[in-house]
Structure 1
Amino acid sequence: MTERPAEPRGRRRPRLLYLAFYFPPSRASGVYRPRATANRLVELGWDVTVFAAPLPFLYDTIGSVDDKLMDTVDPRITLVRPSLNRFVWETDLREYSGFRARFPFLAQSLYTWGQEHVFPEHYASWARASVRKALRMHARRRFDVVLATGNPFASFGAAWLFHKLTRTPYIIDYRDSWTLDQFSEEPRFEDGHPAWRWEGRVLGAAANSLYVNDAQRAWHADRHPHAADRMMTVLNGWDADTLPSIAEPPPAAREAAGAAAEGHAPRFTYVGTVTDQQPIEPLVEGFSRAREHPDMADASLDFYGYFGFFKASVKVLRNRFAAAAAVAGRAGAEPGEGGGEGAEDDGVLAPGVRYRGPVSKTELAGVYRDSDVLVFLNGGGRYVTSGKIFEYMAAGRPIVSVHTPGSAAEELLRGYPLWFNPGGLDPADIAVSMAAAAKAAAGLDGRQVAEAREYAGRFSRNVTLEPLIARLTELAVRRRGVAGRGGSQ
């Protein structure tokens, strides 16, 4: 990393230290919010330094990258990758340090002690390395404010410690919850676990904490009332740099306009990471039933994205699709379908359902353009919004919800004119919604697509990030004023 020379004090731009472990080329689902935030701040004249995961961890340890995503990062951002002790991920004896190889039980005991008494997360070593590096950089050119995003939540601990040592204000961004299981809606840790103590400590000193929906913010306010008045909701959003400024009608409508609608097979699409928290079985059965409707026999459902965040997830999730197809009574309808022989090679998951593989965010515009209907398959309830729903709305396509009632995304979708809501996970209701959405797609015109996009416009990143940017600016101005009066550095 090469640092820029110091600027004259009078012209110095506000300077941000952004602790964002998952940053491009990581493909983690939470990477897009930090990417967009850093890019936007640079556009507005900020000097942004991002501390992110070391590349060997992304490429070699978890194998979770999207190389093309790096092309969307503003080159004016200074990117630093502090070291990480991969102790818990080391499975090859040849990777062990000399100390661990000679004293494996002692090494494990020391590591466990650190988890219990220093910081309760496997990324703690990255946080310590981040603080050391940040202090050296701060001594040369002062940071005005720190923004830390979790997970991992070691970034929160690093922001807290850096604040204690330098008095630099910090904001923490809960992309995910630390102590709340957002899917079971129960506390993630038992009473007395060190995570609770650390969370209270971090929130107590933070200038603000951010949450992706009001329910998530309210839960944390109830658990940590001492910090409730500094909690803010900052919604996720969609990124204008990866979607076209104007969306044309779906293929079904374009073909109808050209008098070629007869025989058009509706194209349903899911975009995103498939996880074990999602209701796969109701979707597969509902789609199977939908294909029994007139004009839906040849309908297709394509999955674009990854199966899980780790390689071991792929087989488990494929088996769930196969089992769901069998329950629907359609397994073995065609060679290789429903997860049978050859399914892994040809991408078939169930009759009419195919896995198309990952697609870079930079290429998603083409996927949306070629889709008639988007399927919002989402796990979790009132605490889970999912960043993907904003992108779905911006695509200007009919959206079919497949999730439990009460999802946080419902608050957003109520105003979207092309939302088809089964009201739950009954496969029969899902089938009706899918058939209705396909029919609507065939009749869409440019005006209707524009209306859908107009509603989605209120959730573009530049809009949803405004409260955060205003607060960061306020903190930076105040910090520079204190420094200018000879206050604490």
Structure 2
Amino acid sequence: MTRPHLLYIAFAFPPSTASSVYRCTAVANAFAQDGWDVTVVTVDPKVWSQISGVDEKLAESVHPAIRIVPVNDGGAEEPAKGDLRRYSRFRIEAPYLWKDALRRRSRRDFPEDFHGAWLKPASEAARSIHAEKPVDMVMASASPYVAFGVARALEGVPYVMDYRDAWAFNTISGAEDFTPDSAVGKREAEYLRDAAQVWFVNSQIRDEYARRYPGSAHLMRVVANGFDPQPGHARPAVRSTERPTFGYLGTLQYVNMPLQEFLDGWGSAFGPDSPQAEVHFRGKLSASGAASAEVLQIFGGNGVAGLRYDGPISKREVADFYGSVDALILLLSNGKYVTGGKTAEYLATGLPIVSVHDMENAATDLLRDYPLWFPAKELTPEGIANALRDCAAALQDPDPERWEAAWIYGQQFLRSTILEPVIAELRDIAGQDAIRRPAAEERTQA
């Protein structure tokens, strides 16, 4: 059997530390491990060193056979860059007008603020790659949604749309960003109709998209987030502890996340002067790494007993962190469409998990049968404190059978297990003559 060639479109890819890179890395690796030739079109990594930072150890986890083609961002990330030496006079003297002009210019080719500017350079790169080595399948991971436009740059080549979020609505608030009969909605409908498959991270988002675009519902798949075993991934030891250490790992979304409610519940559970427990936070204090004064005050060692913050951590070192704590705190943004990128990874540790999030979140579907789940049934100080106390009590007198069941339950979320069947479907599609696809002649360039 010949090796099919996958062109993978991912705006962020290692060494970027953007939240999307873990899924993107795992998907690209899975195709390479399945015997595909994989070429990744992504943003030049120098962009990330100027914005949110890089993780060179994460880059080491990319399959060695994958070819990475870095592309200029086209100005898409210009508003986030803070090098004053590069600012134009227009930007310095009229920053709001400058930003509005950049927004309008970026939307000329694709209806997405700023990131629309990536369509032209990324599409040119895709066509060049295809001319050099014909592409059998394109996969585009979004957001930004301009990746979907790039996926259509190769006429007649089947493509897959991987929604890590939702283009049409806000997954946290549920607010609609555009209707199916709007100009952008009609464009999205066309993209969906012409796709070989459409992936979503949970059934809640998939079902809403099926309702909005029923003609494409048969193309939609739930390809959930999973965990990628890191060095040191192992079953936790079952040990009794009177003074447990809780851990949180991830990027804090302070505006949408019940962090203050958790801190109030923590104080209620363990008291300001009690040495009964500690909680260690690792990760960035915001998506960009630039934290607000309010967050800095919380994590600056002022007034929260037992709280410790030790900064970001490389993806390749997360197993060591999990091995250093007794239980995990799952803080998630509110919203029924939210699963959380860390949920499957938390489950795979086999550790007790205290959930501090809306029970209507999509994450609850993954957690409800986990043997060591301690949910805060109400996001009140007392509701959170009760969950913390219940977890602490279980840690004082651990049941080995319960711990064993938790470990077994968590291993089902191995990402390779989730990806294998859908990649097998795509191998069949890639083997077909793309010209037979009925919509191939009807596609319009983005």
User: Taking structure 1 as the reference length, what is the TM-score of the superposition?
Assistant: 0.81
Structure 2 residue aligned with 1:395, among 330, 345, 349?
A: 349
The one-letter code sitting in structure 1 at the alignment partner of 2:14 is P
The one-letter code sitting in structure 1 at the alignment partner of 2:7 is L
Equivalent residue runs for 1:253-292 within 5 Å: 253=239, 256=240, 261=241, 264-275=242-253, 276-292=255-271
Q: How many Å separate the matches in 2 of 1:318 and 1:88? A: 23
8 Å contact from structure 2 (residues 230, 317) kept in 1: no
Q: How many Å separate the matches in 2 of 1:58 and 1:349? A: 34
The one-letter code sitting in structure 2 at the alignment partner of 1:468 is V
Counterpart for residue 18 of structure 1: 8
Task: Show structure 2 runs of 5+ residues with no match.
Answer: 442-446
- Listed one character per residue, the Cα deviations across residues 280-337 of structure 1 (whole Å, up to 9, x for unaligned) are 11100111111049x9643111111111112433434335x4xxxxxxxxxxxxxxxx
How far does residue 52 in structure 1 lie from its aligned partner after superposition? 1.3
Structure 1 residue aligned with 2:165, among 173, 176, 179?
A: 176
Q: How many Å separate the matches in 2 of 1:316 and 1:45? A: 49
Change (3 A) 1:480 1:403: same
1:140 partnered with 2:132: yes
1:84 partnered with 2:84: no
The one-letter code sitting in structure 2 at the alignment partner of 1:16 is L
Counterpart for residue 95 of structure 1: 86
How far does residue 208 in structure 1 lie from its aligned partner after superposition? 1.5
Q: How many Å separate the matches in 1 of 2:310 and 2:90? A: 45
Equivalent residue runs for 1:417-436 within 5 Å: 417-436=371-390
Equivalent residue runs for 1:220-235 within 5 Å: 220-235=209-224
Equivalent residue runs for 1:46-195 within 5 Å: 46-60=36-50, 62-86=51-75, 87-89=78-80, 94-95=85-86, 111-121=102-112, 122-162=114-154, 166-189=155-178, 194-195=183-184
The one-letter code sitting in structure 2 at the alignment partner of 1:143 is V
The one-letter code sitting in structure 2 at the alignment partner of 1:280 is L
Q: How many Å separate the matches in 2 of 1:200 and 1:392? A: 35
Counterpart for residue 30 of structure 1: 20
Structure 1 residue aligned with 2:225, among 223, 236, 245?
A: 236
How far does residue 381 in structure 1 lie from its aligned partner after superposition? 2.5
Q: How many Å separate the matches in 2 of 1:97 and 1:181? A: 33
1:443 partnered with 2:432: no
Q: How many Å separate the matches in 1 of 2:206 and 2:31? A: 24
Q: How many Å separate the matches in 2 of 1:477 and 1:205? A: 17
The one-letter code sitting in structure 2 at the alignment partner of 1:238 is F
Q: How many Å separate the matches in 2 of 1:371 and 1:104? A: 46
- Listed one character per residue, the Cα deviations across residues 7-27 of structure 1 (whole Å, up to 9, x for unaligned) are xxxx64111000011111111
Question: Which has more helix, going by share of residues?
Answer: 1
Change (3 A) 1:109 1:438: closer
Give the SS at the match of 1:52: strand
Structure 2 residue aligned with 1:313, among 287, 291, 294?
A: 291
Moved more, 307-316 or 75-84: 307-316
Change (3 A) 1:409 1:110: closer
Counterpart for residue 330 of structure 1: none
Counterpart for residue 458 of structure 1: 412
Q: How many Å separate the matches in 2 of 1:220 and 1:463? A: 25
Give the SS at the match of 2:310: strand
Q: How many Å separate the matches in 1 of 2:9 and 2:145? A: 10
CA RMSD of aligned residues (A): 3.0
8 Å contact from structure 2 (residues 158, 434) kept in 1: no
How far does residue 239 in structure 1 lie from its aligned partner after superposition? 0.7
How far does residue 194 in structure 1 lie from its aligned partner after superposition? 4.9
Q: How many Å separate the matches in 2 of 1:109 and 1:306? A: 29
Change (3 A) 1:479 1:137: same
The one-letter code sitting in structure 2 at the alignment partner of 1:226 is G
How far does residue 48 in structure 1 lie from its aligned partner after superposition? 0.5
8 Å contact from structure 1 (residues 19, 51) kept in 2: yes
The one-letter code sitting in structure 2 at the alignment partner of 1:270 is Y
Task: Show structure 1 runs of 5+ residues with no match.
Answer: 1-10, 322-338
User: Taking structure 2 as the reference length, what is the TM-score of the superposition?
Assistant: 0.89
Moved more, 121-130 or 109-118: 109-118
Q: How many Å separate the matches in 2 of 1:407 and 1:110? A: 38
Larger Rg: 1
1:301 partnered with 2:279: yes
8 Å contact from structure 1 (residues 249, 444) kept in 2: no
1:247 partnered with 2:235: yes
Counterpart for residue 208 of structure 2: 219
8 Å contact from structure 1 (residues 349, 355) kept in 2: no
